[in-house]
């Protein structure tokens, strides 16, 4: 317990000090990592903790990205209002799509989430009047306002701390969720759905809850990403973006919450640096996936936890 | 307390249960016996709502339960200890037990978790030192205790136990019989399916024998023990 506390404090001190000291490119990469770490944790709630293998989370990433962009672009709403709109819209979509998908188990669930993803992607490509299609839409990032104080997201240091604070808040909320009785029920459903039902749990309701919570935090990362890039396009619904959290989660360790963050920390720098000089960089990700699946099927953090438990 | 009235159950096109009739009174231990594959587990699964009857009704305390979902049946006071324990392996013993508690608000409010856990530990004192161990590391007997403890913690009125002695050493089977008796004395009505005929007949107030998806015998254990032909024909014992 004490060791864990020291580790948490150490990580926080490092993260806070890096905001000022990192070179520009690495700070930029860190900001991306913070945003995608939220996405990865959201996926872990759905797959790692509840066993629902979705192949279409980019739907919520894209919906929230536009949910933030459109109000700012057309009505010049402030940051907090537009972020709230983005998240509310994402939750509504989460409930509707979840209601349709969660009833279906196993392969049917995977297939319907792919169908959702492709449908939203094609709609986003087609409805150019709304989304800008493939070219996308750009906007001016609103200021971060706290009463009389305001900060600009055009300052990379501000963006660093802004995104970091969302990552930390998301981690704490999700950690609290999985440690609560609800979290234990989600694990119970992943372990044995029928058994959870026999104890008296409405499995559908809990699976839907996990789906919506995952959609909400995926949406948060999508909204933050559009805020960071000050842009969104149909590509934010691309199915490749639905594959990424699967890779982060499997490499880092499903059902660990920190594992998927480790996955992002390992994989995104690979893409960021190697992708610049080698166009076949994805083959490295593929090789890493194969290596992890064969030698560490529980993922890096999952394997580490296993070793600690055994010792 | 529980009446099963003329119940027929199908798996796809296969007709598994034929006109099952059962009557369980409050406070009884009822044993459902029969060889492998005669429909005992199917009957239990139908009572708990995993399978739905094509014909007939199941009445629990005056309420028809054959059409309501499994989780609601569990909430009205029927708990199930399935064959092979089926615990949540990644959770600890304590987490496996309290997960049964969090399902009912009234259980959370009326009595503290600690009191509830204390009560089941009085029945299974061996579990006290194992509370923080993941259940996958326990022996079969210990896992069975956890499975029963988890079912008991919800204050069930009727406990369904499917082959509770399966895979246990003979000495543990004897102990299990005593535990079932103890649970019954605490006011829980019990319906159990068993392959271990001698243990079941020692503790049961009433016995049903099944064969080919039909009830072939209904009566008290003394009557059954006198009928050697029946014992041999349907249970393979003398």
My answer on whether B167 and B144 are in the same domain is: no
In this complex, do A195 and B86 lie within 8 Å of one another by their Cβ atoms?
yes
Give the domain-ending residue among B155, B183, B201.
B155
Q: Residue A1 has what pLDDT?
A: 66
Give the domain-ending residue among B114, B133, B155.
B155
My answer on whether B164 and B225 are in the same domain is: yes
Total domains, chain B = 2
Q: B154 contacts in A (CB within 8 Å)? A: 199-200
Given pLDDT bands bounded at 50, 70 and 90, which one contains residue A311? low
My answer on whether B171 and B67 are in the same domain is: yes
Give the domain-ending residue among B155, B173, B188.
B155
My answer on whether B72 and B160 are in the same domain is: yes
In this complex, do B99 and A184 lie within 8 Å of one another by their Cβ atoms?
yes
**A138 pLDDT exceeds 80?**
yes
Considering only residues B104 and A141, tell me which one the structure prediction assigns the higher pLDDT.
Answer: A141
Q: Which of A194, A196, A200, A309 to mutate to test the interface with B (most CBs of B within 10 A)?
A: A200
In this complex, do A201 and B103 lie within 8 Å of one another by their Cβ atoms?
yes
Considering only residues B144 and A175, tell me which one the structure prediction assigns the higher pLDDT.
Answer: A175
Residue B109 CB neighbour total at 10 angstroms: 8
In this complex, do A198 and B154 lie within 8 Å of one another by their Cβ atoms?
no
Between the two ends of chain B, the Cα-to-Cα distance in Å is 32
In this complex, do B154 and A199 lie within 8 Å of one another by their Cβ atoms?
yes
Q: Which residue range forms the structural domain that includes residue B173?
A: 1-77+156-238
My answer on whether B70 and B101 are in the same domain is: no
My answer on whether B67 and B176 are in the same domain is: yes
Cβ contacts from A onto B, under 8 A: 61
Beta carbons within 8 Å of A7's beta carbon, 6+ residues apart:
none
**A294 pLDDT exceeds 90?**
no
Considering only residues A138 and B131, tell me which one the structure prediction assigns the higher pLDDT.
Answer: A138
Q: Residue A36 has what pLDDT?
A: 97
My answer on whether B217 and B146 are in the same domain is: no
Q: Which of A48, A199, A209, A306 to mutate to test the interface with B (most CBs of B within 10 A)?
A: A199
In this complex, do B99 and A203 lie within 8 Å of one another by their Cβ atoms?
no
Q: Residue A84 has what pLDDT?
A: 97
My answer on whether B197 and B208 are in the same domain is: yes
Closest to A220 measured CA to CA, from A41, A28, A23 = A41
Q: CA of A291, closest CA in chain B: separation in Å?
A: 25
In this complex, do A181 and B90 lie within 8 Å of one another by their Cβ atoms?
no
Residues in chain B whose beta carbon is closer than 8 A to a beta carbon of chain A?
48, 50, 69-72, 74-75, 80, 82, 86-91, 95, 98-100, 102-104, 134, 150, 154
How confident is the model over A179-199, as a mean pLDDT? 88
In this complex, do B100 and A202 lie within 8 Å of one another by their Cβ atoms?
no
Domain boundaries, chain A: 26-238
My answer on whether B160 and B232 are in the same domain is: yes
Average pLDDT value over all residues in chain A: 92
My answer on whether B70 and B169 are in the same domain is: yes
Average pLDDT value over all residues in chain B: 85
Q: Residue A106 has what pLDDT?
A: 84
Given pLDDT bands bounded at 50, 70 and 90, which one contains residue A89? very high
Given pLDDT bands bounded at 50, 70 and 90, which one contains residue A157? very high
**Nearest chain A residue (CA) to B72:** A200
How confident is the model over B45-73, as a mean pLDDT? 91
**Interface predicted TM-score (ipTM):** 0.74
Query: Dihedral angle at the C-alpha atoms of B9, B10, B15, B21, nearest 10 degrees?
Result: 0
Considering only residues B138 and A120, tell me which one the structure prediction assigns the higher pLDDT.
Answer: A120
My answer on whether B220 and B165 are in the same domain is: yes
């Amino acid at each position: 317990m004490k060791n864990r506390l020291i580790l948490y404090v150490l990580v926080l001190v490092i993260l806070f000090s890096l905001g000022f000291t990192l070179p520009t490119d690495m700070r930029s990469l860190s900001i991306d990592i913070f945003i995608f770490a939220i996405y990865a944790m959201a996926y872990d709630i759905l797959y790692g903790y509840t066993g629902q293998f979705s192949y279409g989370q980019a739907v919520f990433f894209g919906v929230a990205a536009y949910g933030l962009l459109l109000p700012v672009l057309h009505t010049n709403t402030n940051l907090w209002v537009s972020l709230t709109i983005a998240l509310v819209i994402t939750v509504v979509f989460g409930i509707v799509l979840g209601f349709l998908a969660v009833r279906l188990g196993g392969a049917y669930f995977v297939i319907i989430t792919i169908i959702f993803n492709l449908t939203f992607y094609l709609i986003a490509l087609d409805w150019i009047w709304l989304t800008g299609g493939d070219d996308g839409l750009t906007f001016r990032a609103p200021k971060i306002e706290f009463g009389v104080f305001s900060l600009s997201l055009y300052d990379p240091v501000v963006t660093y701390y802004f995104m970091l604070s969302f990552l930390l808040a998301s981690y704490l909320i999700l950690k609290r969720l999985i440690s609560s009785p609800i979290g234990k029920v989600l694990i119970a459903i992943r372990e044995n759905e029928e058994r959870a039902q026999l104890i008296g749990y409405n499995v559908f309701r809990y699976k839907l809850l996990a789906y919506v919570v995952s959609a909400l935090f995926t949406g948060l990362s999508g909204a933050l990403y559009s805020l960071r890039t000050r842009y969104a396009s149909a590509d934010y619904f691309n199915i490749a973006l639905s594959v990424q959290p699967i890779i982060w989660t499997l490499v880092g360790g499903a059902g660990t919450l920190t594992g998927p963050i480790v996955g992002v920390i390992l994989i995104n720098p690979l893409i960021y640096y190697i992708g610049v000089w080698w166009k076949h960089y994805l083959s490295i990700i593929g090789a890493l996936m194969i290596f992890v699946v064969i030698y560490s099927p529980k993922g890096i953090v999952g394997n580490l936890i296993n070793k600690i438990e055994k010792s | 307390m529980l009446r099963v009235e003329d119940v027929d159950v199908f798996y796809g096109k296969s007709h598994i249960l034929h006109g099952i009739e059962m009557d369980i009174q409050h406070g009884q231990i009822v044993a459902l016996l029969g060889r492998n594959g005669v429909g005992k587990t199917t009957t239990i699964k139908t009572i708990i709502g995993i399978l739905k009857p094509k014909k007939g009704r199941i009445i629990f305390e005056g309420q028809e339960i054959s059409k309501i979902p499994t989780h609601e049946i569990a909430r009205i006071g029927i708990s199930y200890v399935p064959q092979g324990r089926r615990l949540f392996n990644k959770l600890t013993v304590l987490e496996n037990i309290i997960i049964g508690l969090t399902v009912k608000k009234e259980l959370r409010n009326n009595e503290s978790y600690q009191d509830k856990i204390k009560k089941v530990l009085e029945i299974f004192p061996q579990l006290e030192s194992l509370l923080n161990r993941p259940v996958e590391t326990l022996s079969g007997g210990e896992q069975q205790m956890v499975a029963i403890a988890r079912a008991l913690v919800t204050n069930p009125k009727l406990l369904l136990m499917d082959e509770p002695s399966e895979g246990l050493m003979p000495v543990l089977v004897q102990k299990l019989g005593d535990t079932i008796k103890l649970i019954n004395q605490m006011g829980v009505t019990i319906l159990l399916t068993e392959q271990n005929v001698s243990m079941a007949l020692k503790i049961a107030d009433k016995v049903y024998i099944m064969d080919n998806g039909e009830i072939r015998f209904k009566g008290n254990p003394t009557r059954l023990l006198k009928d050697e032909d029946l014992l041999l024909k349907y249970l393979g014992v003398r």
